[in-house]
Structures are given as structure tokens and as C-alpha cells.
């Protein structure tokens, strides 16, 4: 392990732990009430959703407008599983049940993603976008009509397993997993397909295989996000997972910058927290939000971060550098 890498690990670990401590203290001292904790949990879930969507939309560069459908499958399958597990009477700690439910939700959704992705990824661009809208709507209509999961009335009786403490660490783990995926051999192959599909095929990359892989991994994590959502709300209904919700997630990814995971994280935080802060102007809130979207696209179409990643280490380095420069300039004047 080289020196820079170790330094980056240390800085990131310290910042993650200290951020957790800040939240921990705020919650313990009751500065953050239940409402704010709720926003923080939703933000974590949206971070997972945006990052997972970024695998297809950003890394692979394909338009996927059906992420809500995958989230729905994850939410429903995990909730169904956890209810069944609770019914058997086996006493497991909450966190174990939650993680098992997430894994079930992730695998089921990943499988569906694989089945949908295999035929549809032959299409590209707008057409792929339309097909993903179609599948997501079919999934929603399926859950409206599917009696075992409560139909249109929704699935009730889910135990609320998600707390800020566990969702924070789960989100951190998923962030690390997706980052690692992006830098792995597979992740780089996917990015090369985005850059030039024909060239990467000529370089010996089985493009169809990696496209389906990206789609499957993306839906796997979307399913996990859906599982968290189900076990936070303790209730899932089909009307949550509409076309507009897919669009909302897509907007987060684009605003953060397609292909930039840190961008997705920042945009997910801003776009979840900001609307809540604007609740006082409830009537104008969505008006402002949509206007901001248009203005942003006209003046900065590549999103906040473009394709680059925000790095804490580099940020600190640049701060240090500035200080050094100031010192040297200051020193120069003194002489």
C-alpha cells in the first residue's frame, strides 16, 4: 500500500467516523428531533438509490428511467421475506433480520434486472429509456393487482427495523462497494463501453455481458435501497413507485454529474434535504425545484461535478497548498 493511499484511507475513515459522531451527539442531545432523523434516513436511502442508478446511467451511459420499479421489487420482496421470517418465531436480532431482508431484496431485484436487461440492452438511448419506463410501470401495475402483497392497498405489518445508526453504516458499506465496483476490472470495462462501444468491443471486451452486468448490479443495489425503504416506512404501497419517482432519482444523478458517485451523494443530500427545508413555502417548493432544474441544465449541463469525483484528500491537500502559498507570499512581503 503506498503512502498516498494509506493517507486517503485514514482521512476518509476519520471523516466518516466523525460525521457519525456529530450525528450521534446531535441525536443524543435531542437537537435533532424525530423529523430530522427521518430526513437523514431518507437521505441515506436516496444516496443508495442514486448511486445504484449511476452505475447504469453514469458508468454505462444508458438512459434508465425505471429505477422506481426495481426499488419496488426490493421493497416488496424483502418485506415479504421479513414478515415471513418474523412469523416463524425465530428470534433474531433486528440487524440480522434487516441484513437478511436486504440480501433477499437485492438478489430478487438483481435477478429481475438480469431478466429484463438481457433482452432490452440491445436497445440504446431513448429507446432503452422508454423500455425501462415500460417495465417499471408493468412492475407497479403487477403489485397493484398482486393479492399476496396487499394489492393497491399496500403491504402492512412490516417491522420497522431501520434506525439512523444502522442505516448510516449500511450506506457507508454500500458506498464503498459501489466505489470498488467502479474501479474494478468490470467497472472499467463498463466505463469503456460508455466511451466507445465499438472500440471496446474491438479491444476484446464482451460488451453485451458487461452491459447486463451493469444493469444487474445496479438493480441489485436498488433492491437493497428498496428493502431499507420498506423497513423504514413499515409500509409499502404501489403508488409510491411511479414514473415520476424514477424521474426524481434520475434527476439526482444528472444534477450530481453522470458518472460521478460523489456527485450523486451530494445531489441526493441536497435534493432530499432542500425540499424539506422549503416546506414553509410548500406551494412554491416544487415550482422553485423545477425551475432550478431547467436553469442548472442551461448553465451547467454536465451536472455539479461532471465526471470527476470529489476527493477529501485532494481537498485537504489543496487547502494546505493554499496556506503554504499564502505563507510564502506573506514571507516574501516581509523580507
Contact footprint for other proteins (CB under 8 A): 63, 119-120, 122-123, 125-127, 129-131, 133-135, 137-138, 141-142, 144-145, 198, 243-244, 247, 250-251, 254, 258, 283-284, 286-287, 289-291, 293-294, 297-298, 301-302
**Cα 103 to Cα 94: distance, rounded to the nearest angstrom:** 14
What are the cell numbers at 11?
Answer: 482521512
37 or 247, CB closer to other proteins? 247
Smallest gap, in angstroms, from Cβ of residue 38 to other proteins?
A: 24
Smallest gap, in angstroms, from Cβ of residue 257 to other proteins?
A: 11
Q: Are 144 and 151 in contact (CB under 8 A)?
A: yes
78 or 132, CB closer to other proteins? 132
196 or 324, CB closer to other proteins? 196
Q: Are 23 and 40 in contact (CB under 8 A)?
A: yes
Output phi, psi for 227, to 5 deg. Answer: -60, -45
**Cα 174 to Cα 52: distance, rounded to the nearest angstrom:** 9
Smallest gap, in angstroms, from Cβ of residue 157 to other proteins?
A: 23
Output phi, psi for 257, to 5 deg. Answer: 115, 120
Smallest gap, in angstroms, from Cβ of residue 149 to other proteins?
A: 15
Q: Are 302 and 257 in contact (CB under 8 A)?
A: yes
180 or 290, CB closer to other proteins? 290
162 or 254, CB closer to other proteins? 254
**Cα 127 to Cα 32: distance, rounded to the nearest angstrom:** 45
Smallest gap, in angstroms, from Cβ of residue 207 to other proteins?
A: 13
Question: In the 8-state DSSP scheme, what is residue 203?
Answer: T
The residues that bridge with 236 in the sheet, in sequence order, are 155
Amino acid at each position: 500500500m503506498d503512502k498516498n493511499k494509506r493517507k486517503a484511507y485514514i482521512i476518509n475513515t476519520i471523516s466518516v467516523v466523525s460525521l457519525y459522531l456529530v450525528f450521534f451527539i446531535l441525536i443524543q442531545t435531542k437537537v435533532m428531533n424525530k423529523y430530522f432523523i427521518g430526513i437523514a434516513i431518507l437521505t441515506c436511502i436516496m444516496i443508495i438509490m442514486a448511486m445504484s442508478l449511476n452505475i447504469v446511467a453514469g458508468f454505462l451511459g444508458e438512459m434508465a428511467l425505471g429505477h422506481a420499479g426495481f426499488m419496488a421489487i426490493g421493497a416488496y420482496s424483502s418485506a415479504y421475506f421479513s414478515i415471513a421470517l418474523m412469523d416463524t418465531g425465530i428470534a433474531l436480532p433486528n440487524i440480522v433480520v434487516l441484513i437478511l431482508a436486504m440480501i433477499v431484496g437485492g438478489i430478487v431485484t438483481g435477478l429481475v434486472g438480469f431478466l429484463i436487461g438481457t433482452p432490452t440492452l440491445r436497445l440504446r438511448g431513448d429507446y432503452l429509456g422508454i423500455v425501462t419506463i415500460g417495465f417499471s410501470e408493468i412492475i407497479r401495475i403487477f403489485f397493484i393487482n398482486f393479492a399476496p402483497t396487499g394489492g393497491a392497498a399496500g403491504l402492512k405489518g412490516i417491522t420497522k427495523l431501520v434506525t439512523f445508526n444502522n442505516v448510516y453504516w449500511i450506506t457507508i458499506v454500500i458506498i464503498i462497494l459501489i466505489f470498488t465496483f467502479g474501479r474494478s476490472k468490470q467497472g472499467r470495462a463498463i466505463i469503456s463501453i460508455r466511451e466507445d462501444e465499438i472500440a471496446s468491443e474491438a479491444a476484446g471486451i464482451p460488451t453485451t455481458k458487461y452491459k447486463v452486468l451493469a444493469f444487474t448490479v445496479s438493480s441489485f443495489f436498488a433492491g437493497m435501497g428498496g428493502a431499507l425503504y420498506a423497513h423504514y416506512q413499515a409500509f409499502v404501497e404501489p403508488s409510491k413507485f411511479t414514473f415520476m419517482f424514477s424521474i426524481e432519482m434520475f434527476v439526482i444523478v444528472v444534477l450530481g454529474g453522470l458518472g460521478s458517485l460523489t456527485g450523486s451523494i451530494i445531489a441526493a443530500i441536497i435534493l432530499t434535504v432542500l425540499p424539506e427545508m422549503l416546506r414553509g413555502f410548500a406551494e412554491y417548493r416544487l415550482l422553485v425545484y423545477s425551475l432550478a432544474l431547467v436553469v442548472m441544465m442551461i448553465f451547467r449541463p454536465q451536472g455539479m461535478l461532471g465526471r470527476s469525483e470529489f476527493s477529501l484528500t485532494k481537498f485537504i491537500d489543496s487547502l494546505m497548498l493554499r496556506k503554504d502559498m499564502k505563507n510564502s507570499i506573506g514571507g516574501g512581503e516581509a523580507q
